[in-house]
Amino acid sequence: MAPRALDYESLNENVKKVQYAIIFTNVGNPHALGQKPLTFPRQVVALCQAPFLLDDPNVGLLFPADAIAKAKHYLALTTGGLGWSVEGAYSDSRGMPGVRKEVADFIERRDGYPSDPELIFLTDGASKGVMQILNTIIRGESDGVLVPVPQYPLYSAAISLFGGSLVPYYLEETENWGLDVNNLRQSVAQARYKGITVKAMVIINPGNPTGQCLSEANLREILRFCYQENLALLGDEVYQQNIYQDERPFISARKVLMGMGPPMSKEVQLVSFHTVSKGYWGECGQRGGYFEMTNIPPKTVDEIYKVASVSLSPNVPAQIFMGLMVNPLKPGDISYEQFIRESKGILESLRRRARMMTDGFNSCKNVICNFTEGAMYSFPQIRLPPKAMEAAKKAGKVPDVFYCLKLLEATGISTVPGSGFGQKEGYMENYSSHFSPFVSEGGFAPPPILFFCGVFHLRTTILPAEEEMPEIMASFKKFNDEFMEQYDDRGGYSRL
Amino acid sequence: MAPRALDYESLNENVKKVQYAIIFTNVGNPHALGQKPLTFPRQVVALCQAPFLLDDPNVGLLFPADAIAKAKHYLALTTGGLGWSVEGAYSDSRGMPGVRKEVADFIERRDGYPSDPELIFLTDGASKGVMQILNTIIRGESDGVLVPVPQYPLYSAAISLFGGSLVPYYLEETENWGLDVNNLRQSVAQARYKGITVKAMVIINPGNPTGQCLSEANLREILRFCYQENLALLGDEVYQQNIYQDERPFISARKVLMGMGPPMSKEVQLVSFHTVSKGYWGECGQRGGYFEMTNIPPKTVDEIYKVASVSLSPNVPAQIFMGLMVNPLKPGDISYEQFIRESKGILESLRRRARMMTDGFNSCKNVICNFTEGAMYSFPQIRLPPKAMEAAKKAGKVPDVFYCLKLLEATGISTVPGSGFGQKEGYMENYSSHFSPFVSEGGFAPPPILFFCGVFHLRTTILPAEEEMPEIMASFKKFNDEFMEQYDDRGGYSRL
C-alpha cells in the first residue's frame, strides 16, 4: 500500500530535518523550578479574567486598589469598551493597540529614541515572533542566516523548518564568549563560497547558553558589519533584565543603532524580540512576547501583519502581562514596595546563584567556566583525561556521553549528552540526540546540561533554588573530582 | 542599492502569496459583539492566575466553593506540584497531561470509543493546530489539499504559506451547501491531471461560512472516499456545540470512522480540531484548542511533537479553559444552575438569531438564504438585476462592490465586497481585496459580509445582540428592497 499522507515517509522533509531536543529541563522555566510569580501582575490579570469581581463589594478584601485600577485600565482597552470581554475576544492580530503603545513608551524610556507602536507586534512568546520573521525572510535553502554557536536551538530548528541554511559564527570561549567580527566575515565568506546568500544575522544578548553581555562597542561593530554586508539583524534580547555584573549593563541593539546616526540608523533593518518569560517575571506559561521593527518598509510590515492575522490574535492575558511588564509600578503606588521586594529578591538571588555556580564549576578539577554575566545559564567546559576517553571507548560510548551517564548515576543530576559534532563543524547535526530520561519523573528538577564539539561543555540553568545550590554544586564537584582522579593520567590536565 | 532582506521584493514568495483579509469583523468573535463569558470558568482561571487568593480567608466571599475546588484541581496538575506556578511555567509542548486526559475522556463520552491522551495535543487556538498539521503534510506545490468552497480563509492562507496547492471542491448551495462525493472525485481528477498529488481533505462541520451540518451518511461517504483515494482527513469541528436544528445533531468524523470498522477504522488518517473560541464559550482571546490524531503512526506523532516543542508550549491559561470546557459542571455542583442558565441562554439565543437572520434575508427581494443549521454565520445569495449591474459599471465598480458600498452608505452595515472570482474558478484570488472600513470605529459592530463568484453572496455572523437583530434586518431589508426596486428591470428576478 502506498504510504499515507501522515506516514513518516510522506512528511514534509523540512519538518523531519528540524533538530530540537524535546527536553523539558533544557529550557529556562523559572516557575517550574520554584520561582514565585510576582503578586501584582497576577492580581491584575486575575481581575481581567473575572471582571465581575470588580462589581463585588468585597473585592477590596482580596485585591489592592492599584491592582483594581490597573485591571480597569486594561479592561477599558478592549474594542468597543466591552470591559468584561477583553480576555475573551480576539484582539487585533498585532495585539491590543493600547498595550503596543505601552511597549513603545517603554522602549523610548529605555533607549532615549521614539518608538512607533505600529511597528510593534505582540506575539505568543518571543519564539513565535522569531519564527514568523525567519519565515518571512527565508525563501529557500540558498538563503542563509548567521547564528551564533553555541546557540539556542530555536534558531537552528526554525531555519530548518523554513528550509533555509544556518550559517554558524563562533563565539570565543577564551574571550568570555565574545564575538569577533573577523569570525563573522569568515563565516559569510564561506557561506557565499557555497552559494548561500546570507540575509540576516541573529544575536542573543545576553547570550544563551553562553551568558555573555555584549558591549556597546561590540554591538556597534556588529551593526556596521550588517550595514556593510546588507544583513537584517535579529536581536534576541529576551534576557535584558537578567544581568549579573555592573560593568556592562544591557544596551539594546536599537539604541546603539540609533546612536550611530545616518546612514546606518536609517538603513540597517533590525527586529528586536522581548518576552514576559524571562527577567524577574518568568511568566513562561502565559506565552507573551513582542517584536519591534526598525527600518522595515510599510509593505513588509503589511505582509507580516497579514500572516499574523491567519492565526487571528496572540492570547490576550499575556498581552496584559506584557503591558504590566513594560509599565511597572512606580514609587508611591500601594503595591510598589511589595513589587520591588519581590523583583529585587529574584534578581539578586539569580546573581548570587550565577556566582555560586561559576565558582562551583571553577573549583572542580579540569573544569573551566566563564562567569554568567547575564541570562539564565552556566556553560562550563570540561576536559576529559585520555584515560577517561579510553574507558568510554571500551564502554562503547563517546566520552562525553560516558561522563554524563556517570554523573547521572552518581548524583541524580540529569545531563544531556550529545556527541560527535565539533564546535566548528557539524554542530547542528546531533542536537536531537540529547535526551534526558529524568524529565517526567517530577520531584527535584536537575540542571539541564548540553555540550558540543571536541571540547566538552555543559549547559546548566542557574535556576535551581538558591538554598539547594550548594548541595548541587558539592554533589557535582564530588563526582567530577573523583571521576578525574579515577581517570587521572600523569596527574591529569589540571596540573598541566 | 541591493534590496535588503526585509524589503518587500526580497521576501519569501509564499508569504506574499498568502491571501487573508485583515478584517476584524470577518471573524466569529462573540465576546467582542456583546456575548458575556461564562462565569464559572472565568472564576477558576482567575484563581489559577492568583493562587495566593486560595490562602486568603476571604476567598469564599468572592468565589464559590466549586470554583475553588476546580482551581485546586488544575493547580495540582502542574509539574512537581508547584501549585502557584501552574500558569507561569511552560507546560509539556503537547499541553498538560492532565488536561489531555480530560479531553480524551470527553471524546470517549461523546463518541463511545476510547481516545488516547498521547494522541491529543493542546494548541494556541485551533488555527495553530491546523497550520501545524498542514505544514507537516505539505512538501511543495505538487502536494494538494482538498478544501471546501466557500471556505474559511485559514485553509487557503495556510496552504499558500506552506507552498502547497489548494484543490477546491464545491458545496452545493441548492442542496443546502451539501457535499456531493461526485464533486470530490471530479476535483481530485482535475488536480491529478495538473500533476498534483492530493494528500488530504478538509471538512468544516458545521460549515463555515455556510452553516450546514453534515449527516452521518455524508460523513461515511467522505471517509470512504478518503480511504479509496488515500487522503488524510482534517476535520474542523470547532462549531460542534453550535447546532440550531434537531434533525442532524453534531456527529464527529471520528465517531463515524470508528463505527465503520476495519479496514477503514484502522487505516484512514484523521486529525480532528476543536477550540474554546466557539460554542457557548466564545473564549477567542484565550487562544485555546486541541487536535486529536487517529491512525497517525508514532514516528509522525514524534515529528509533530518535535516541531511543537520549538515554540515551547501552548499558553497555560487556555489549557485550563479547555479542561473546563470538556469537563463541565454536573447537576448538584453549586455553580451548575448558573452555568446551565448562562450556556443555554447563549445557545438558545443563537438559535433564535439564526432563524431571525435567515427569515430576514429570505423576506428580501432577490435574496435567498439557506438556514444556518450550525456554526455562527449566515450566507445569503443576492441576485442583482441587470440594471444594477449596468449602474455599477457606470460607477466604475464591479456590481457586488457597488451593492455593498450602497448598503454601507445607506445603513452603516459594513459589508466586505470581493470581486471577480467565479464560484468555481478563481475563488481564492480575490480574498484579500475584502476590506471593512468599519472595524476600528468601535460601537455597533456590524455583521461582516463576504461574497464570491458570479453569484453574489454575503457572509454575516449571527452574533449581533438579539435585541438589535430586528433593527439590523429591517434596515437591511429596507435598503435591499429599495435597491432592487430602483434597479428593477421588468420586475426584477424576484418575479421570475
What pairing do the DSSP bridges indicate for beta strands A232-236 and A197-204?
Answer: parallel
Question: Identity (one letter) of the amino acid at B345?
Answer: G
Question: Across the interface, do B312 and A20 touch by the CB < 8 Å criterion?
Answer: no
| Calpha distance A318→B89 (Å, rounded) | 13
pLDDT in tens, A263-312: 999 999 999 999 999 888 888 899 999 999 999 999 999 999 988 888 88
Q: Cβ(A137)–Cβ(A271) under 8 Å?
A: no
Nearest by CB: A131 against B27, B85, B311: B311
Question: Across the interface, do B313 and A287 touch by the CB < 8 Å criterion?
Answer: yes
In terms of Cβ atoms closer than 10 Å to its own Cβ (0-12, 13-18, 19+), residue B73 is middle
Question: Across the interface, do B81 and A442 touch by the CB < 8 Å criterion?
Answer: yes
Burial track A313-324 (b if 16+ CB lie within 10 A, e otherwise): bbbbbbbbbbbb
**Residue in the structure block whose three cell numbers are 546531533:** A430
Q: Supply φ then ψ for residue A381, to 5 degrees.
A: -100, 135
- Name the minimum distance, in Å, from the CA of A188 to any CA of chain B: 15
- How many CB pairs (< 8 A) connect A and B? 342
The half-sphere exposure of B350 on its side-chain side, counting CA atoms within 13 A, is 32
Would you place residue B293 in the very low, low, confident or very high pLDDT band (cuts 50, 70, 90)?
very high
What pairing do the DSSP bridges indicate for beta strands B143-149 and B165-170?
Answer: parallel
Helix axes A298-310, B154-161, angle to 10 degrees: 120
Would you place residue B415 in the very low, low, confident or very high pLDDT band (cuts 50, 70, 90)?
low
Sorted by sequence, the CB contacts under 8 Å of residue B228 that are 6+ apart come out as none
CA end-to-end span of chain B: 63
Using a CB-CB cut-off of 8 Å, the residues of chain B touching A137 are 5-6, 10-12
Helix axes B316-326, B97-111, angle to 10 degrees: 30
| Peptide bond preceding A249 in cis form (omega within 30 of 0) | no
pLDDT in tens, A390-410: 888 899 987 777 888 898 889
Q: B42: closest CA among A91, A95, A47?
A: A47
Percentage of chain A beyond pLDDT 70 is: 86
Question: CA A353 → CA A70, A359, A459, distances in Å?
Answer: 33, 10, 15
Question: CA B164 → CA A426, B19, B136, B187, distances in Å?
Answer: 31, 13, 11, 16
pLDDT in tens, A193-222: 999 999 999 999 999 888 899 999 999 999
Does the pLDDT value for residue A429 go beyond 50?
no
| Calpha distance B22→B25 (Å, rounded) | 9
What is the per-residue pLDDT for B447? 29
* ipTM value: 0.86
Question: Diameter of chain B by CA atoms?
Answer: 77
Using a CB-CB cut-off of 8 Å, the residues of chain A touching B308 are none
Quote the mean pLDDT of chain B.
85
Consecutive H or E run containing B308: helix B298-310
Question: Across the interface, do A282 and B42 touch by the CB < 8 Å criterion?
Answer: no
Consecutive H or E run containing A233: strand A232-236
Nearest by CB: B283 against A13, A22, A88: A88
Q: Cβ(A24)–Cβ(B81) under 8 Å?
A: no
- Sign for the CA dihedral angle at B211, B212, B214, B218 comes to negative
Using a CB-CB cut-off of 8 Å, the residues of chain A touching B8 are 297, 299-300, 303
Q: Cβ(A104)–Cβ(A329) under 8 Å?
A: no
DSSP per residue, A296-311: --HHHHHHHHHHHHHT
| Calpha distance B282→A322 (Å, rounded) | 23
DSSP class of residue B302 equals: H
- Is the pLDDT higher at B117 or at B487? B117
Task: Please tell me which of A20-24, A34-38, A59-63 the model is most confident about, judged by mean pLDDT.
Answer: A59-63
| Calpha distance A272→A293 (Å, rounded) | 7
Question: Identity (one letter) of the amino acid at A298?
Answer: P
Q: B358: closest CA among B339, B381, B342?
A: B381
Q: A188: closest CA among A229, A233, A245?
A: A229
Nearest by CB: B93 against A22, A39, A199: A22
Interface test mutation site (partner B, options A79, A119, A275, max chain B beta carbons within 10 A) = A79
Consecutive H or E run containing A167: strand A165-170
| Calpha distance A358→A350 (Å, rounded) | 12
Quote the mean pLDDT of chain A.
85
- Name the minimum distance, in Å, from the CA of A55 to any CA of chain B: 10
Domains, chain B: 88-326 (3.40.640.10), 347-495 (3.90.1150.10)
User: Mean pLDDT over residues B374-396, rounded?
Assistant: 87
Question: CA B233 → CA B198, B272, B294, distances in Å?
Answer: 11, 8, 10
